[in-house]
Amino acid sequence: MMRFEGKAVLVTGAATGIGRATAIAFAREGASVMIGDIDDRADETVAMILGEGGRAAFRKTDVRKAPELDELVAQCLDRFGRMDAAFNNAGVLPPQRPIHEIPEDELDLAIDVDFKGVFFAMQAEIRHFLKVGGGAIVNTASVGALIADPNMSAYCAMKHAVSGLTKAAAVEYAQQGIRVNAIAPGFVVTPMTQHWADSNEFTQMFFAQNISGRAARPEEIAPTVLHLCSDGASFINGATFTIDGGQTAH
């Protein structure tokens, strides 16, 4: 299937993990992919896509800075002549601490990257989609948008905020042809969570609780993002899709 032939998508946070796997999956279905990331390893994602005969470009972008997201959208239009969908995925997991021990700079990091980064990206993308009569946006939330784990309060609060922002944007722009959805992955093995994957004690406790008995691979998250950005999802709007192997089912 080549659902994105002739289309261009923007992906933030595609140097590693879920964003990288999703950028590659988009390119394999024909999309030109514009990547924004603070990490130069996004060049390796681009090289991988180009090596497979796909189209991709990377612009160094800090999602905490709104003008850099405006520029990323401008670059996508400049390089590929269009932008049809966007995956706002860049995120950070601050150090795990109880609420009363969290210093303000760690709280600010979660607010700035995990919430304001998605907000600023959506602003830039929506301005373009309003001009061209529509588009699709997918934001990365987390099961932390649905449930709470101890010592992850700022992250959970910001992921709840992303889910709420997704609904708010869907409500505001549905009549302009813009669909906005979110994904809520469970435990996916990526650089963000490698320390858990490496901890026998943690993984055994987690796997005992999860009906799938394992964590996900980033490649298992990408297909839902592609579907939500495709015409096949034309009646899905304002939803947060859980992709957690059943973690929150019991």
The site for ligand NAD (CB under 6 A) is made up of: 12-13, 15-19, 37-39, 61-64, 89-92, 113, 117, 140, 142, 185, 187-188, 190-193
Nearer to ligand NAD, 54 or 185 (CB): 185
Nearer to ligand NAD, 129 or 241 (CB): 241
What's the min distance (Å) between Cβ of 242 and ligand NAD?
10
What's the min distance (Å) between Cβ of 102 and ligand NAD?
17
Nearer to ligand NAD, 132 or 214 (CB): 214
Nearer to ligand NAD, 54 or 117 (CB): 117
The span from the CA of 203 to the CA of 16, in Å, is 21
Is 173 noted as a catalytic residue in this protein?
no
Task: From the candidates 26, 155, 173, 206, give the one annotated as an active-site residue.
Answer: 155
What's the min distance (Å) between Cβ of 230 and ligand NAD?
20
| Residues classed as catalytic | 155
